Structure 1
């Protein structure tokens, strides 16, 4: 060290020159050698190519790959630079031979460049091939040898060498010319690609085939001579043909590629997609598309999530339709009308809040809230239906009535907690139609929400009955990203585990679509909680299903919003859903979350907690919050005569002669429709004529609804049809008197229906029964 310092002091000028040269040499090489735009490339979770988007400059240039396949490495070294691992970046012997040959010929006939020099030349594209440029290449090459390993230099070459046409780099060339990954190339294929960069503008697949064939075979012969391959391999290799034209790049997940490009443009991205599942789902969508387009339904999307990891396993953003029908639109993240797909969230919310038990009877009768008049899909009514069956059959009227009872703002709060980003307005903006498709959401958010419910239940059962604080998180399609579910907590995140389990139990019912189709394609051995939905005007068809391990979401429709007859969830989306589940591994059903449940006696007929008057009871596990629900209100104790034909009381019958019996009684309007669907339902017997103090009599309008505007059609002879008024009475045999604007019209008994032809304008209809009970209804008649 002291000698060096003394030398610097004695030779300051010379030392300064040396220092400057060293500094210039150190910084002469750019930190980033290659700045060319690259293609966006996505692969599966196993690094299998799913698709690529061409670089901005129109070149098929994949991002830098630091791994060079062994066969190609051997071929390129034997062809281009046999002393690669022994020289410092340039080969003096090769340079001398090239210089002698070029001087004797009077032109540049031989380059003598090493692979390291060629890397430098590729990075300095556009430079003329002069002797001065050659000297600079040698200097830069030696500097690169100091900075990078030999393997790194080889990867620079293989990723940036030209391979003819607009193909740059080994990875792109392998797929364009042989339709496979570079690591899967044969010796003949590797040799073919090794000779291409030598003259890519003159020789490449489809051009000058004979020259390419000879160059390849000479290299293969050299490999055999060097003992790299045996004679049999050589004979088989030279018998292989050459590629005639480039293959198109795989497009197995084109819409996922679009999505990745938005945030990782020009990058190599390993996704979570399972290639076999993706390809099977692609085929399923294609097969259904060929049928759907016969009905002018052109678009569909499918998303498959892994519940436990929240990773995307398959992503099909659209059908393989044409540009006229928006084939490039990724429907998965586009807002569409939800139809009935939100109903399970309302059911779970009411269970979670303790406002409902799984099979509590809910009203299914003609309903009107102001001008809003919801109807069931089949325009029929059951009178009363278990809440679970109302959900599984996707009945609209019970859902709207449940939402009204639960509270619109309250339910809206639950939906906001699910992070549905397309739910942008307040509750009043949507109104009660929120539950029937008045709001918009997208397949991504809906699948995410169903997966979060399933994951909540899984985690609760797998831990010591605990929840995770970040359960309702975003799924991922990036393989290097791990979902953080947050910290364990004893507090529920949104819904308790029991409410979710009971909701799924309802949703796994088989025969429950909005119609009465036979589900031949449904494999009953697979337990799946699933729900369909259809938006107003038949514009959107949904089907989302979940098991313990997977969530599958399907949307079917037209991207431009055109509705089509038959575009309903059960007919178009559900078959795709089940076909997809058929290619997924079988999954066990959810375990029952006993720590959030309690066994109680439930009234078999009403679904309420059993009261003392309920004769048929059965023990059922319910959510703990359901313990605060009232006991069965529909079973009452009635007193009958000995023949059980009439009700009696102490005013007309001796106590010893009375028969005391529990009776299932529904309110009149519910009863009117319920008994039509349930032939074994028995209305309360009337009181015997000699009895006093009869029970309360109830009378309700069936039709018309309050403040209805009614159009009376005319028949073929021009006669205006009658308006048929209907009333339900708790004692049908009672005499009922009918009035229009206080003008007496007539009376009915047993069947309380009355035909009339009111004039145009507003009218008040009044009915009065023999006991003095009265009911009124305003209507408006219009032509």
Structure 2
């Protein structure tokens, strides 16, 4: 008889195979954070929210509540519990209606996989399917089916989806009360839904808790405490913690589970809130993006692709982490680092921030202000354009592009263009993700790496800079004072010390700031996704404050400073030569600086571009001891003296003090040599303004005067600087007018692109009533600006 029953069962099993769901299509695609909490989910084809889960990923409290309430003998019965079935049948006969189900967990799974009518033939088919399940699957596999497919109300199926939707937490973290609630919910998913019927759900939950106390599964004090918990009317099956990242990773989903990222939920929410709060006060259509990357692992810990995903007015659906935009000045640190590796500069190499033409390319500074002589470190900190273009021209655009590509940063150029001098000022395309990836090299001994979005991505890294160059560049950027802090030596712990660099693209279209701490690299972009200009939005004023807020919110990590590589050293150097002083009284050492050097190499100051004769520096000349003028070897002068001159770049001379100009100037040729000395185009004279002139309005007028800018001599285009600010350009021989807007002391300089210049100082005062005493303001830049200081 038994053999006959087995034969019939196997025949039916072969003819009526189980219909199992396809794993890949039956689950919602879920992208989860580092702790397993969902960042965003996408329902399956039927609109059902169902997240894959295994028994070990569910709280043991839930497993206890489920099995002791629904199926106390689950681990022992063959799929059908005869005693329960007989009890349920007797109760049905006595009451005329069902009082208890009698269905096992296995039978409930059978009904989920193969729905049947609620009649006797349907019940028999359910029992057969339960036996089939027990025949083909283990108890753990059957329990897993239930955990994933049990109905929990509306479009929610499975305990993990229910836990997130009704409780806002993963099923691994359930309390006793929450476990009891989810255990009873599948009995009547619609009637017990906590978001719609919280009181009814509470009564059903308490029934489970009482049963757990009755069977001594949980002690009575625990059950009493659990009953105190309130059932909250919550329903949120669609988390949107990192919507753009999740959308990007959706297609990486696998049948065996969700897409697992490194996102820190607390940090993600913090960064998103900071960006949302910041953009709330910005003009319409402004968006922002941010990345926070853990340096040691290259793991992305926070990913905010737009200001607000649900705000269409700010293009919230556009992921600006991946968008190609002009990087502005954010490439400059790598240029300076590569130049150090090539032995061209050290951190205090003398550079010149002055008007110059590079084969027809004539860049300006962002502020339209020129500083004159400046160290490489300060030029990088202040993001001065002229020194950077000068340095790129010496390194070579193609070589610079090749080095960046070797480090993993692939720049995009406009159609039919390749590497050129505009690339260092933003004339290329790059994404926030790529820039942050490159900047991680500053905290990883020069190794840049591909950012890791998911846990199955391996670490891939390339050398962007040598360890020594990366260390020096980071030190330079870290010494740049945070503008959000008060001036002075405010001590910050290591976790808040940040090496930061800003960037602004042409037309105020993109504002960037990227910062590097010991533990994290943080990148910020602010602008309009449609590429329209955002006047007044630039890196230092817009993106930098947001960066500092994020840095200050990062988890603290205390520890020693990273070690300085053996290739990095400190040395005293001299301006203008850029080399070590020969002693305390070195006559060629006009200014002393303390520099970071690489590989113990101290390169001299770069050759002067304005020197068409490429004279050596220092320069040795012979002078007539009686006149102090220069003589040639064949001049009939007895006992000429040798004089060694340390020369400053010609373009820096307008910013030098009179003393330094005299020390650097080559004496004129002595007439005794019998050679003509004539003025040429290498001489410029400001016309119409004598030194110490006082300008005032004519008569009783109160309108400030207008200055006529006119010069004689020079080559090519002339640049007019007033207290260091560029106020006009004019061809040689033409004039310009400049109306004054305030009184004060002024220093006017005219320069050509060959480094020739002339300067004059004057005073502008306002009009007044006859007999009224005039009071001038405190002199502003009466003398040429000192080294590296803005006028």
Aligning the two structures, in what range does the TM-score lie when normalised by the shorter sequence? Answer: 0.7 to 0.9
Residue 181 of structure 2 corresponds to which residue in structure 1? 192
Taking the aligned partners of 1:173 and 1:517, their CA distance within structure 2 comes to 47
Give me the whole-angstrom Cα distance separating, in 2, the residues matched to 1:545 and 1:317.
Answer: 18
Tell me the distance in 2 between the aligned counterparts of 1:232 and 1:699: 99
Aligned CA distance change for structure 1 residues 522 and 448 (closer, same or farther; 3 Å): farther
TM-score by length of 2: 0.75
Shift of 1:115: 0.4
Mapping 1:608-687, distance limit 5 Å: 608=579, 614-615=588-589, 622-624=597-599, 626=601, 634-637=617-620, 655=639, 662-672=644-654, 674-675=655-656, 682-684=663-665, 686-687=667-668
Q: Deviations over 1:534-576 (max 9, x none)?
A: 0001011111122343211111112222222221111111122
Give me the whole-angstrom Cα distance separating, in 2, the residues matched to 1:663 and 1:182. 79
Aligned pair in 2 of structure 1 residues 510, 753: CA closer, same or farther (>3 Å)? same
Q: How many residues get paired?
A: 688
1:268-307 residue pairs with structure 2 within 5 A? Answer: 268-291=258-281, 293=282, 295-296=283-284, 298-307=286-295
Q: 1:329 aligns with which of 318, 334, 344?
A: 318
- Consecutive unaligned residues of structure 2, counting only runs of 5 or more, are 608-615, 687-702, 717-729, 737-753, 757-791
- Going from structure 1 to structure 2, the CA distance change for 1:275 and 1:523 (only over 3 Å counts) comes to farther
Contact 1:307 1:455 in 2 (8 A): yes
Counterpart of 2:564 (choices 576, 589, 592) is 592
Deviations 1:256-296 (A, max 9, x none): 222221322784133212233333323332343334x2x44
* Partner residue of 1:167 out of 156, 159, 162: 156
Q: Is the 8 A contact 2:631 2:670 kept in 1?
A: no
Match of 2:772 in 1: none
Aligned-pair Cα RMSD in Å: 4.4
The equivalent residue for 1:116 is 106
What CA distance in whole angstroms lies between the structure 1 residues aligned with 2:394 and 2:226? 77
CA contact (8 A) 1:601 1:619 kept: yes
1:49-92, Cα deviation, whole Å (9 max, x unpaired)? 44434444322211233333222222222322122122111111
**What pairs up with 1:340-739 in 2 under 5 angstroms?**
340-369=329-358, 372-421=361-410, 423=412, 428-429=417-418, 431-457=420-446, 471-483=447-459, 493-511=463-481, 525-526=493-494, 527-582=497-552, 583-584=554-555, 585-586=557-558, 588-594=560-566, 596=567, 602-608=573-579, 614-615=588-589, 622-624=597-599, 626=601, 634-637=617-620, 655=639, 662-672=644-654, 674-675=655-656, 682-684=663-665, 686-687=667-668, 691-692=672-673, 700=682, 724-725=710-711
Answer whether contact 1:281 1:580 (CA < 8 A) is retained. yes
Alignment partner, residue 763 of structure 2: none
Are 1:43 and 2:32 matched, yes or no?
A: yes
Structure 1, unmatched stretches of 5+, are 1-13, 458-470, 487-492, 705-716, 730-737, 739-751, 759-772, 776-783
Question: Equivalents in 2 of 1:143, 1:179: separation in Å?
Answer: 36
Cα distance, 1:347 vs structure 2: 1.6
Q: 1:158 to 1:89 in 2, by over 3 A?
A: same
Partner deviation per Cα, 1:402-450 (whole Å, 9 max, x = no partner): 2222222222222322333452568944532111111010011111111
The 1:500–1:35 alpha-carbon spacing in structure 2 relative to 1, beyond 3 Å, is closer
Rounded to whole Å, the distance in 2 between the matches of 1:645 and 1:404 is 38
8 Å Cα contact 1:687-1:694 kept in structure 2: no
Q: SS where residue 338 of structure 1 aligns?
A: coil
SS of the equivalent of 1:241 reads: coil
Between stretches 184-193 and 636-645, larger displacement belongs to 636-645
Moved more, 541-550 or 260-269: 260-269
| CA offsets 1:592-613 (integer angstroms, 9 cap, x no match) | 322x457877434442466897
Name the CA distance, whole Å, in 2 between partners of 1:703 and 1:277: 61
Report the alpha carbon displacement of residue 338 of structure 1 after superposing the two structures with TM.
0.8
TM-score, normalised via structure 1 length: 0.76
CA distance, structure 1, for counterparts of residue 579 and residue 244 of structure 2? 49
Which is further off, 516-525 or 584-593? Answer: 516-525
State the distance in 2 between where 1:96 and 1:246 align: 38
Q: How far apart are 1:648 and its partner, in Å? A: 7.1
CA 1:648–1:246: 2 relative to 1, 3 Å: same
Q: Please, which moves more after superposition, 181-190 or 404-413? A: 181-190
CA contact (8 A) 2:184 2:205 kept: yes
Moved more, 69-78 or 180-189: 180-189
